[in-house]
Structure 1
């Protein structure tokens, strides 16, 4: 990527911190953004802090980076947060909204970015510390006012003593005048304490007569990651009334009990939450049904993800029928839900109960490891969601000849909307692939296709790539290693787990496989289609220029 002249100059300016006093006070507000981006990309935390403390705009967004760019360094994010706190008492800062949504990097990756959990803890600590600092400032301001009032009283006493030396009539009038002055001073002090008078400190904080109340100066919006270790700190920050107010866009919860999740949802600002992701929490059907009414109170909620939450919908269990009814009723209240992701929840035969309750069609549906039955796929292919799906993940749900008719009908219904499809680990052999390829080729808007861990031979893989090359909208294909590339001993019809664990034969010409596949692309003029077998680094949302 070619860097602009402005970004090159900005990188040079922030490279020498000793020169910052020279240019900081002269820099126009239009260049603050370029200088801040250069400070992040060059890992200059001192420059980040000085720029943020003097930020000339009401909003500062430090969100997702451009494609290919790394997340900001941990030290730079820490410098940013410290600068926001310092800016609360700096009249040069006009910041009112700090938006860090989408900022989390991968813990321990290249460049040492700040991960989701670390950023959440840092934000909560910052909110609580800002409250403590504001209370300290209020106490100091109150102490200054008490000293000023004491000085006024001493002056009044001196004047009264002097007035006693003059004539009686004159002395009486002067004493009355001084008493009125004292009452006026006391009245002004009472008004200031109630907030009716001018503010006591530079930050614009205000002190109530009964309790210390601090105005919100900066709203901090971020994606929060809460687990057992950060739960109490997050709860404290959300309950804190101070100059910084924490808001949440996407909430990720791990290993938290249902009562704790309910407490968290009750104190979370309702108007900003767009999505909630619950992982490794033993909810059960009854627990999820208990949470759904609380989720319905968030008017903008559009994404619900449940991963490994121990939902076992079995009608033969005592009380399960009632819980299932409560669950279905709760889902009807999620009026704006667009994305539903359910991973490994043991829901065979229950897909109709869940999806038919939703009031509007979904745009994204992820159902990996759900052991979907033929009845589930038959319902999905005829449901009101089929024609609106943009993203569909059916990974690790075994497909066979009894389910392929429903699968083909589903692809036909979604052919003009589907952009991302995952059929990894579905047990598709060469024969089954041949049955589904015609329907797959009709998906005219498909951008990414995941087909890993399916037992295909080299011949079947070539058929898949030839079909993919003819799909002009497709930009990325995650293909399986052909059976010929594995070491001897692999079963005739291996499972996805066996394909994942079985060693590849390094002596075989694995590079030859890649060469043959790329030759197909060249023959079809598809230099814009990325082929990969790398499961770990596959990104279905990869963007191309």
Structure 2
């Protein structure tokens, strides 16, 4: 990565904290951003704190990092949050919006970044504490006013007694009770402020804190589970100078009632996506949540992973719950992305998708036990021609379902950019039937084909097709059957391919060398081939 002269100079400036008093008071506002970025890159939390506390703009975005740039260090994020709180009473700061969306790093990765759960807890703690400080200030102010009122009342009584005792004959010298009260109040104010009235105006930000005015809106992606639920709820309910907003909400192992409480507390105009994982919703629970989701006008993404939506069994009230589910989906007018993982909904895809008023751009259906009827509906649905990302992984395909898949790819050929067919049981024969349809996807950028039982010959056919697709940039290919130890079944499942050991006597790099030779011969240096399941999706997100 090539650094600009400004970034190199900024890194040098923030490297020595002892010099910060010299340059902080002279730097123009347009240099705050490169200095802050240099502070994050160089892991300089003290510099981060000083810059953020004096931030000269109304908005501070520390958003999604660029590819190849590490997420900010945990200490730097903590310094940023502390500086935001200190800036509430600093007249040099005019910050009104702190945007941390997309900032979460991977917990425990290199550089000690702050992960999604940790960042959520830290943000909510900051907001709750700021609200508590405001409450303490207001309680102290109320107590001070009560004491002042009692003191004024006592002083008025004392002055009235003095007047009666002196029994002054001059009526002009007798002051009314109202005048006495004003006089006592004025003297007490002067005593409290000093010898005379102060010429300096009160700090407007401090007045705002005391008057229940929100000074800074904090926008972030929130990760909520059973351990952080109380803290997030408290932060969303807080009446302090910091107001929490949420762009993407990820929920794990939370009950339907608790999810409803969070949704009712969230500011409705900002939520773009909801991700629910490992929560036992059931069909009835999801149908109960959908009316609440319809109140979020910008909601465009809904992800449900392992949420116990199993309608294969003949359960009482199942038909009514499905009707409620279908009716609720009709209210999601702006939904563009739908992800359903391991929900066990064979034969019910029409119920889910036909109710959506707008065609989807992203559809992820892994581990869904899709039936031939599901794939047949999908290939002719109003979503087929608009799909940009499609995941059918771990749904077993055969000759009966392949015509529907080919029809679907034909409908999405001009729009589809990312396709996953990993673990679909595609043999050399099935691949040969599918390759012509895959080759017609002129916009395809990434293709995942891992954990399919392909021989070396089938794998070569796949790669030769890939190099002819000018738009393709990434291919996740399966290890060929010849690379596994003996004893693998003739038609192994994806789980068997994942667990079965590779043959140590075979040079695994020989496969990679052979495939790269195909790339070189076809001049496709811009096509990345990999069999690394763990890092493929990470690289895909960085694109």
TM-score (norm: length of structure 1): 0.92
Separation in structure 1 between the aligned mates of residue 538 and residue 177 of structure 2, nearest angstrom = 83
In the TM superposition, 1:533-544 aligns within 5 A as 533-539=531-537, 542=540
In the TM superposition, 1:84-233 aligns within 5 A as 84-141=84-141, 168-169=169-170, 171-174=172-175, 178-179=179-180, 181-182=182-183, 202-205=205-208, 207=210, 214-233=212-231
Separation in structure 2 between the aligned mates of residue 54 and residue 388 of structure 1, nearest angstrom = 46
Q: Secondary structure at 1:512's aligned position in 2?
A: helix
The question of whether the paired residues in 1 share the 8 Å contact of 2:152 and 2:181 is answered with no
Q: Which residue of 1 aligns with 2:489?
A: 491
Q: Which residue of 1 aligns with 2:500?
A: 502
2:448 is the alignment partner of 1:450: yes
Summarize deviations over 1:273-309 as a string: whole Å, max 9, x none: 0000000011111111111111111111100000000
Separation in structure 2 between the aligned mates of residue 247 and residue 126 of structure 1, nearest angstrom = 14
Separation in structure 1 between the aligned mates of residue 144 and residue 21 of structure 2, nearest angstrom = 32
- Please report how far the alpha carbon of residue 512 of structure 1 lies from its aligned counterpart in structure 2 after TM superposition: 1.2
Q: Which residue of 1 aligns with 2:2?
A: 2
In the TM superposition, 1:358-507 aligns within 5 A as 358-507=356-505
- Please report how far the alpha carbon of residue 62 of structure 1 lies from its aligned counterpart in structure 2 after TM superposition: 0.6
Separation in structure 1 between the aligned mates of residue 433 and residue 82 of structure 2, nearest angstrom = 59
In the TM superposition, 1:347-358 aligns within 5 A as 347-358=345-356
Separation in structure 1 between the aligned mates of residue 122 and residue 178 of structure 2, nearest angstrom = 56
Residues 155 and 26 of structure 1, relative CA distance in 2, 3 Å threshold: farther
Summarize deviations over 1:321-343 as a string: whole Å, max 9, x none: 11111111110011100000000
Range 313-322 or range 287-296, more displaced: 313-322
In the TM superposition, 1:221-370 aligns within 5 A as 221-314=219-312, 316-370=314-368
- Please report how far the alpha carbon of residue 520 of structure 1 lies from its aligned counterpart in structure 2 after TM superposition: 0.8
What RMSD in Å do the two structures reach over aligned CA positions?
2.4
- Please report how far the alpha carbon of residue 153 of structure 1 lies from its aligned counterpart in structure 2 after TM superposition: 7.6
The question of whether the paired residues in 2 share the 8 Å contact of 1:441 and 1:467 is answered with yes
The question of whether the paired residues in 2 share the 8 Å contact of 1:163 and 1:174 is answered with no
- Please report how far the alpha carbon of residue 201 of structure 1 lies from its aligned counterpart in structure 2 after TM superposition: 6.9
The question of whether the paired residues in 2 share the 8 Å contact of 1:138 and 1:201 is answered with no
- Please report how far the alpha carbon of residue 491 of structure 1 lies from its aligned counterpart in structure 2 after TM superposition: 1.1
- Please report how far the alpha carbon of residue 16 of structure 1 lies from its aligned counterpart in structure 2 after TM superposition: 0.7
The question of whether the paired residues in 2 share the 8 Å contact of 1:101 and 1:223 is answered with yes
Residues 60 and 167 of structure 1, relative CA distance in 2, 3 Å threshold: same
- Please report how far the alpha carbon of residue 204 of structure 1 lies from its aligned counterpart in structure 2 after TM superposition: 2.7
Range 307-316 or range 461-470, more displaced: 307-316
Range 379-388 or range 510-519, more displaced: 510-519
Residues 544 and 261 of structure 1, relative CA distance in 2, 3 Å threshold: closer
- Please report how far the alpha carbon of residue 542 of structure 1 lies from its aligned counterpart in structure 2 after TM superposition: 3.2
Separation in structure 1 between the aligned mates of residue 516 and residue 476 of structure 2, nearest angstrom = 13
Q: Which residue of 2 aligns with 1:194?
A: none
Q: Which residue of 1 aligns with 2:194?
A: none
- Please report how far the alpha carbon of residue 176 of structure 1 lies from its aligned counterpart in structure 2 after TM superposition: 6.6
- Please report how far the alpha carbon of residue 178 of structure 1 lies from its aligned counterpart in structure 2 after TM superposition: 3.1
- Please report how far the alpha carbon of residue 181 of structure 1 lies from its aligned counterpart in structure 2 after TM superposition: 2.9
Q: Secondary structure at 2:19's aligned position in 1?
A: helix
Separation in structure 1 between the aligned mates of residue 320 and residue 158 of structure 2, nearest angstrom = 82
- Please report how far the alpha carbon of residue 168 of structure 1 lies from its aligned counterpart in structure 2 after TM superposition: 2.3
Q: Which residue of 1 aligns with 2:66?
A: 66
Residues 416 and 495 of structure 1, relative CA distance in 2, 3 Å threshold: same
- Please report how far the alpha carbon of residue 166 of structure 1 lies from its aligned counterpart in structure 2 after TM superposition: 9.7
Residue ranges of structure 2 left out of the alignment (5+ in a row): 190-200
Residues 93 and 164 of structure 1, relative CA distance in 2, 3 Å threshold: farther
- Please report how far the alpha carbon of residue 182 of structure 1 lies from its aligned counterpart in structure 2 after TM superposition: 4.5
Range 294-303 or range 144-153, more displaced: 144-153
Residues 250 and 24 of structure 1, relative CA distance in 2, 3 Å threshold: same
TM-score (norm: length of structure 2): 0.92
Separation in structure 1 between the aligned mates of residue 446 and residue 18 of structure 2, nearest angstrom = 48
- Please report how far the alpha carbon of residue 533 of structure 1 lies from its aligned counterpart in structure 2 after TM superposition: 0.4
Q: Which residue of 1 aligns with 2:25?
A: 25
